[in-house]
Structure 1
């Protein structure tokens, strides 16, 4: 029948085109669901430590810190404790946030490699040791951040990397070989090979529509093959005369 032949051709050729991507969807999705997301995010490598209390008597006010930092006007001021002491993070009306010491309002001294390794080790939990500290003037794409960062690598099984603020030494994000493998699966899954963010793009919509047609045409073929009359004709053809 015409509809049977049409369904067969559509099913065959479209399956050849989208088959690899369907494999990425199914196989990659299966692998991603098998990997605990907490492990992918290296949450098991974070050492829990209570934040130190900030003594109000030992810090300057936000206005004084802003004057010392040269911030004319700010829309937000956040006081918090870090391993390098209390800091003010001032968000100007225009421009990027500025982080200064809450003790005197001045910029914190530059973080060096030895201190970066020490602070990373304090925030790390596991068998690894910090083996390398690298200052990165531009944040790598995998961090999802902007600006300079310190990267400290550990020699554990996952090859964990901590990315630290060059000002406060705080661990801003964590990455590992497991995270990078998961990220590769995700990019293949959503068919985005640059930053893996936008998955509402025409390519995936067209591929998903073509895959749907493959499935529907497969159901049509299955229905024709399971028709009682068609089964009898195929049986009759195989009988000796």
Structure 2
């Protein structure tokens, strides 16, 4: 009986403490399984970017581009961007530098109109652009640093495309669906700051306490089933004697 009483008390009080978080886990799990991850990422709103083939013969050599940019790169990548062909030059120390593959200089500043045009080309849907604004600091939801153009679309999902001011490329997409999902993800991993840490001490402790609820619940179930079986056997014996 002591085991039964101890298991009952443990089950009751621990469940009271962690019950709300268990609700968040189950609710968050439902949200994360019910909403396709492609929808969360906004892939259904993205047009695949198909760059035009680069005419390498008409471009200066990498050495000349590096000289004009004043950089001795340890890595270099050439790609097509909405603003034109660009080299990304990685110096030995510091951040990568993006320059025009034609001039060897950074592209000129983008206007709100240009950002809207580039975002619209990358957007799949009928909604128009409702706003385009240059943010000097990247919002936390982008997981990026540095300035970004944010272009909002007037659709029911409140889709926002974030563009690189250096190249006009869409670096990430966010929407009301993503923010709804992110809210439940943070509840699920118990990291209300940025949702990145899912093995911190608090969640480990809560998971251990939840395990104790399950174990104590099985103990209670076993004890009560055993007691019911004994009662049933005693009842059958009593009837057979009669």
**Deviation, structure 1 residue 78:** 0.5
Runs of 5+ in structure 1 lacking a partner? 237-241
**Deviation, structure 1 residue 229:** 5.4
Q: Normalized against structure 2, the TM-score is what?
A: 0.93
Tell me what 1:88 maps to: 87
Tell me the secondary structure at the aligned position of residue 74 of structure 1: coil
**Deviation, structure 1 residue 69:** 1.4
CA distance in 2, matches of 1:74, 1:4: 71
CA distance in 1, matches of 2:78, 2:183: 38
**Deviation, structure 1 residue 129:** 1.0
Q: Normalized against structure 1, the TM-score is what?
A: 0.93
Tell me what 2:9 maps to: 9
Tell me what 2:193 maps to: 194
Matches within 5 A, 1:1-241: 1-71=1-71, 73-228=72-227, 232=231
Give the CA RMSD over aligned residues.
1.5
Q: Which runs of 4+ in 1 moved over 2 A?
A: 228-233
Quick check: 57-66 or 169-178, which moved more?
A: 57-66
**Deviation, structure 1 residue 167:** 1.1
**Deviation, structure 1 residue 226:** 1.1
CA distance in 2, matches of 1:22, 1:231: 34
The number of equivalent residue pairs is 234
**Deviation, structure 1 residue 70:** 1.8
CA distance in 2, matches of 1:111, 1:231: 81
**Deviation, structure 1 residue 57:** 2.1
CA distance in 1, matches of 2:110, 2:228: 80
